[in-house]
Amino acid sequence: MKLKKYVLGGIAILSLGVSFQFNQTNAQASSWHSSSIPAHLRGYWRAKQNQSTGVHIYRHTIHYLGSGTLRHVQWKYAGNHYYKFRDAYDTSEDFSYTLHYYDHHRMTMNSFWHYYIR
């Protein structure tokens, strides 16, 4: 009688564990967003080494002074205050800009001047 209880209990626990394993979903928390760039990143950032150049970050556009403009920006949060940006029409994963936001006064970006301040 005790053996039958243990066998039935074991089967119930195993079937419950298997059902939990199949019910898990894989969510992609870091997907590309077409919405506006986060407000704390927007504004004019000056290059620390050359005060006459910088980058303007608008709601949907990133404009490098003297270099060009990235329009229709998509962005995603990469974790640890890192953000990635790309052109919405160029969907290749190879070409994206990386921005590391330290605080509201400092950030780095993979561009010519690299280190920016506000």
Residue 4, domain member (yes or no): no
**pLDDT at site 84:** 92
In a domain, 62, yes or no: yes
What is the predicted pLDDT for the residue at 38?
95
Q: In the chain, what percentage of residues exceed pLDDT 70?
A: 75
Q: Write down the pTM of the prediction.
A: 0.69
**C-alpha 38, offset from chain centre:** 11
C-beta atoms surrounding 116 within 10 Å: 22
Q: 48-73 pLDDT, tens per residue? A: 988 888 999 999 999 988 778 888 99
What is the tally of structural domains in the chain? 1
Give the structural domain span for 52: 39-117
| Whole-number pLDDT of residue 69 | 87
Whose structure tokens read 């605080």?
A: 103
